[in-house]
């Protein structure tokens, strides 16, 4: 389970290597990769929001054109928008967000915030409109608009990361059914670990109906110390991953005070302090994901 798969057959799509890391994205001339990856867990506090944006930033520094779609009513991705102006529409200047797009009140382009960071765009959520849209996702018209959003993302971005609510809902199922892959964040604590089989069963059931997504991997988050409690939790994560035959990432995200500081000022930790332990960890998770999937983006040598 821990070994990386071989690169894809086509050399044009296989990952290349670079000798050093740079925060300046490497230009790419290929057509969009068109990957849609849902970050999902059925337990709140598992690290979905943090993983989504920080991994998106790390992938963008590898030269990938990345879109973050926030489908969580708690609007966690809004923390990372910084000074970016929230789009507004109509005479009443209502917020244009992904919820408004799903409800047919705004166009995709109206709600999109471009260049939050180089190579990184965001389709944000508003608490009210996303809450309404989430409750209506069983409606075929609303669900078809989510399909349209993800299809638009495939056409224009290399990688789209979708943040989802921390509970089982129609939003999670709809996002999974429209995604090529799923990533499961996992804090080595009793609550999230106990819920790990639930989200993996949800992904498996969705794949049986829709033919997708694949599980791209489980990523351990907020890892600290070396207590017997933490080791037992990590052992249980490994047991569940093996039972469901899903990959477990070698790289993990440590607990880091610098991450908290970055969050307070609305930045991914990689932009706030590239040398921070958590920033380095997110980059290595991005490199590992690129290598696992055989994506074309350059990664450092001797990983």
Give the pLDDT score at 214: 96
User: Residue 231: inside a domain, yes or no?
Assistant: yes
Please name every residue paired with 185 in a beta bridge, in sequence order, or none if there are none: 219
Residue 210 included in any domain: yes
Domain contains 2 = no
State the chain's maximal CA–CA distance in angstroms: 59
Q: Provide the pLDDT for residue 261.
A: 93
List the CATH number of the domain containing 243.
Answer: 3.40.50.300
Distances (CA, A) of 171 to 38, 78, 106, 131, 178: 11, 18, 19, 10, 11
Please indicate, yes or no, if residue 273 is contained in any of the structural domains: yes
Instruction: Report the pLDDT value the prediction gives residue 254, as an integer from 0 to 100.
Output: 93
Residue partners of 31: CB distance under 8 A and separation at least 6: none
Task: Give dist(CA 1, CA 175) in Å, integer.
Answer: 26
Q: Give dist(CA 195, CA 91) in Å, integer.
A: 45
Flag whether 7 is in a domain.
no
Domain count, the chain: 1
Distance CA 54, CA 227 (A): 27
**Amino acid 13: pLDDT:** 39
User: Quick one: tokens of 290?
Assistant: 């690129």
pLDDT recorded at residue 244: 96
Q: Which residues on adjacent β-strands are paired with residue 162?
A: 38, 69
pLDDT at 224: 79
- Residues forming beta bridges with residue 254, ordered by sequence position: 223
The pLDDT value recorded for residue 138 is 85
Q: Return the pLDDT at 272.
A: 94
Q: Which domain holds residue 262?
A: 17-300
Distances (CA, A) of 40 to 167, 263, 287: 9, 20, 20
193 occurs within a structural domain: yes
Q: Is 274 inside a domain boundary?
A: yes
pLDDT, one tens digit for every residue, the chain (303 residues): 434 433 333 333 344 545 445 556 665 678 999 999 999 998 777 788 899 999 999 999 999 999 999 998 776 667 776 555 566 665 555 678 999 999 999 999 999 999 999 999 999 998 898 999 999 988 899 999 999 999 999 999 999 999 998 777 889 999 999 999 999 999 888 777 888 999 999 999 999 999 999 999 999 998 877 777 788 888 999 999 999 999 999 999 999 999 989 988 889 999 999 999 999 999 999 999 999 999 999 888 645
**Is residue 245, in this structure, part of any structural domain at all?**
yes
Residues pairing with 66 in the sheet? 120, 159
Q: If we measure between CA atoms, which residue out of 177, 230, 169, 229 comes closest to residue 198? A: 169
Neighbours of 87 (CB within 10 A): 18
What are residue 70's DSSP bridge partners?
163
């Amino acid at each position: 389970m821990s070994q990386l798969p071989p690169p894809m057959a086509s050399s044009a799509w296989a990952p290349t290597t670079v000798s050093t890391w740079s925060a300046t994205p490497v230009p790419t001339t290929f057509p969009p990769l068109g990957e849609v990856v849902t970050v999902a867990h059925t337990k709140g506090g598992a690290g979905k929001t943090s993983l989504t944006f920080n991994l998106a930033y790390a992938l963008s520094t590898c030269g990938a054109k990345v879109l973050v779609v926030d489908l969580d009513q708690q609007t966690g991705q809004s923390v990372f928008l910084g000074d970016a102006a929230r789009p507004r529409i109509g005479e009443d200047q209502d917020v244009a967000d992904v919820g408004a797009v799903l409800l047919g009140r705004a166009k995709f382009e109206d709600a999109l915030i471009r260049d939050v960071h180089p190579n990184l765009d965001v389709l944000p959520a508003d608490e009210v409109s996303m809450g309404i849209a989430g409750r209506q996702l069983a409606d075929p018209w609303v669900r078809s608009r989510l399909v349209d959003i993800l299809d638009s993302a495939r056409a224009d971005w290399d990688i789209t990361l979708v943040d989802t609510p921390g509970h089982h809902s129609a939003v999670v199922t709809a996002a999974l059914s429209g995604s090529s892959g799923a990533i499961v964040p996992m804090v080595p604590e009793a609550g999230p670990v106990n819920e790990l089989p639930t989200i993996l069963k949800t992904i498996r059931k969705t794949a049986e109906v829709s033919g997708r997504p694949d599980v791209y991997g489980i990523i351990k988050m907020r890892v600290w110390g070396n207590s017997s409690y933490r080791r037992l939790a990590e052992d249980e994560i490994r047991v569940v991953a093996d039972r469901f035959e899903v990959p477990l990432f070698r790289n993990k995200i440590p607990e880091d005070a610098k991450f908290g500081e970055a969050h307070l000022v609305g930045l991914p930790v990689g932009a706030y302090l590239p040398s921070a332990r958590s920033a380095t960890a997110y980059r290595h998770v991005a490199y590992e994901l690129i290598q696992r999937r055989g994506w074309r983006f350059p990664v450092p040598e001797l990983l």
